[in-house]
Structure 1
Amino acid sequence: MSESSSAGGLTEYIQHHLTHNSGLALGGQFNFDSWAVALTLGLLFVLWFGLAARKATPGVPSKGQAFVELIVEFVDGQVRDTFHGDRRSVTPLALTIFMWVVFMNTMDLLPLDLPGTLIKLVGGEEAAHHTFFRSVPTADLNTTLGLSVSVFFILIGHAWSAKGGMGFGKELLTAPFHAHGFGAILLAPVNLVMNVIEWLVKPISLAMRLFGNMYGGELVFMLIAGLMTSWVTFLPGVLANTAWGIFHILIILLQAFIFMILTVVYIAGARESH
């Protein structure tokens, strides 16, 4: 049974679960729950794949090694089909993005009241009621923006590496509207504005797409929890929660795949000339 019945109704229940455990850091609000969960999951990914790489054998692989190899081959295949340059740095980046986002998205499948229950066991009812904790980092816009901004700087690095500083700067001023002579000077500000918009749209779209899907999925789980507050609607609530959870697995994997593949597509575009 959900704890919303004793927390002042569904509205208060949702508000409680949409509130971050946050505080002031570096002159602004910092969501400690998103940061802690994302960091922990990132370390778990590194530990898992690092141990798998150290224990890998050339013979018949174990089930764990075979599963890791399947993931790596899948990601490398996607990178190979999308990016036609040197993949030695791109495939590890794509693998890290895919697995990390999958890990963070999967936290949405945990019971909503699990953090509150654990806090209640340690600190009591009062501590659970006044302690906030959101366990899905990708339902926090700060997390998805952090990921996309990191990708943005990686894109600039690839563009600079492929074209050089002068080449990259020239492209910003001469594409997409190519001209010669005095026309090139007149169109340079227009080209610069168009390119700045194009470059800024990429990280913003990456962040908003992932955040919107995961925030919406989290909110649906909270609304379904409202059905489980009454014995009359408890069974329909359980069925709806199960159905949405199964469907949400597809969203979890699909959003991680989209974030990964768009990053690779953007890298390929950054290394090409207009």
Structure 2
Amino acid sequence: MAQSSAEYIQHHLQNLTFGKLDGTWQFAETAEQAQAMGFWAIHVDTMAMSLLMGFLFLFLFRRVAVKANEGVPTGLQGFVEVVVEFVQNMVRDTFYGRSSLIAPLALTIFMWILLMNSLKWIPIDVIPGLAAAAGIPNFKYVPTADPNATFGISIGVFFLIVFYSIKIKGVGGFAKELSFTPFKHWSLIPFNLFLELLGLLTKPLSLALRLFGNMYAGEVVFILIALLPFYVQWALYGPWAIFHILVIPLQAFIFMVLSIVYLSAAHESH
């Protein structure tokens, strides 16, 4: 059955949602059903693709670690060594505390987001088409174009910020930092708390929305290109995909660097 342009766009922007509807657990067939499932509904496609990219990252890096040699490295080993050295130098230049977690965390964030973003290079109809052939009606395959995925990562970073702020400064020290920054006077504690708590809460918000906004906008443009005649698609798809060669790693890099900066601030004992 032929789809209108609006139906085509809506189909590609709808997640495969599983949740409770009318007292039973089921997959949503329409966007309205997905919304009716409420907060506890699960975007199965986002979960599946993000986990797949996570396992791919672990598999590739472990494979290189096990089979690494000091002679002529393979292309994959060379790539992994460049990424590890790049992240290591970035952490060394940006993070001023002492922690054995930050470098592995930064590497994981960078590579995981990079792999999830890289799914955008796959033509927009390929994976949803394969999913439809397997009987799956909706499959949105770029996890970072779903705010649930980006907020999931950013909230994890937020919890680490709070954890290390309390661990390094103590509960009293962290409370004092929130109460007496930027103005060191007891009468301005409510104003300081408002500013500091607002700044603290906007960190995960800005991390998540920046990544989601860029990936979602790019996906919408790819969908609009796919609506054009075939002979026009390739003239536009190529340049837009090349542009994403810059956007995809850049967004992973920004998310990683900001996470390191926020965690570095959490480790400042003063």
Gaps of 5+ in 2: 21-37
Tell which structure's C-alpha radius of gyration is larger: 1
SS of the aligned residue for 1:108 comes to helix
What is the deviation of 1:191? 1.6
Q: 1:162 to 1:102 in 2, by over 3 A?
A: same
What is the deviation of 1:55? 1.9
**What residue is the counterpart of 1:269 in the other structure?**
265
Would you say the 8 A contact 2:128–2:140 is kept in 1? no
Is residue 121 of structure 2 the alignment partner of residue 115 of structure 1? no
Would you say the 8 A contact 1:79–1:87 is kept in 2? no
Give the Cα–Cα distance (whole angstroms) in 2 for the partners of residues 63 and 20 of structure 1. 36
SS of the aligned residue for 1:24 comes to strand
What is the deviation of 1:60? 4.4
What is the deviation of 1:57? 3.0
Give the Cα–Cα distance (whole angstroms) in 2 for the partners of residues 253 and 49 of structure 1. 18
What is the deviation of 1:54? 1.8
1:39-58: per-residue Cα shift (whole Å, max 9, x none)?
11101111111121122234
**What residue is the counterpart of 2:205 in the other structure?**
204
Give the Cα–Cα distance (whole angstroms) in 1 for the partners of residues 221 and 249 of structure 2. 18
Q: Which amino acid aligns with 2:75?
A: K
Would you say the 8 A contact 2:15–2:43 is kept in 1? yes
**What residue is the counterpart of 1:85 in the other structure?**
97
**What residue is the counterpart of 1:23 in the other structure?**
18
Give the Cα–Cα distance (whole angstroms) in 1 for the partners of residues 68 and 163 of structure 2. 33
Q: Which amino acid aligns with 1:194?
A: L
Is residue 45 of structure 2 the alignment partner of residue 45 of structure 1? no
Gaps of 5+ in 1: 1-5, 229-233
The percent of aligned pairs where both chains have the same amino acid is: 47
1:223-242 matched pairs, under 5 angstroms: 223-228=224-229, 234-242=230-238
**What residue is the counterpart of 1:154 in the other structure?**
160
Q: CA RMSD in A?
A: 1.8
Select between 241-250 and 62-71 the one with higher mean Cα deviation: 62-71
Q: Which amino acid aligns with 2:97?
A: G
Q: TM-score, normalised to structure 1's length?
A: 0.87
What is the deviation of 1:109? 1.2
Of 81, 106, 121, 2:118 maps to 106
What is the deviation of 1:84? 2.3
Q: Which amino acid aligns with 1:95?
A: L
**What residue is the counterpart of 1:193 in the other structure?**
194
Give the Cα–Cα distance (whole angstroms) in 1 for the partners of residues 171 and 99 of structure 2. 22
Select between 69-78 and 6-15 the one with higher mean Cα deviation: 6-15
1:138-190: per-residue Cα shift (whole Å, max 9, x none)?
000111011100000011122122212221122111211112xxxx1x22222
Q: Which amino acid aligns with 2:173?
A: G
Would you say the 8 A contact 1:151–1:203 is kept in 2? yes
Select between 92-101 and 18-27 the one with higher mean Cα deviation: 18-27
**What residue is the counterpart of 1:255 in the other structure?**
251
Would you say the 8 A contact 1:80–1:87 is kept in 2? no
**What residue is the counterpart of 1:145 in the other structure?**
151
Would you say the 8 A contact 2:116–2:143 is kept in 1? yes
**What residue is the counterpart of 2:5 in the other structure?**
10
Number of residue pairs matched by the alignment: 253
Give the Cα–Cα distance (whole angstroms) in 2 for the partners of residues 133 and 143 of structure 1. 15
What is the deviation of 1:88? 2.6
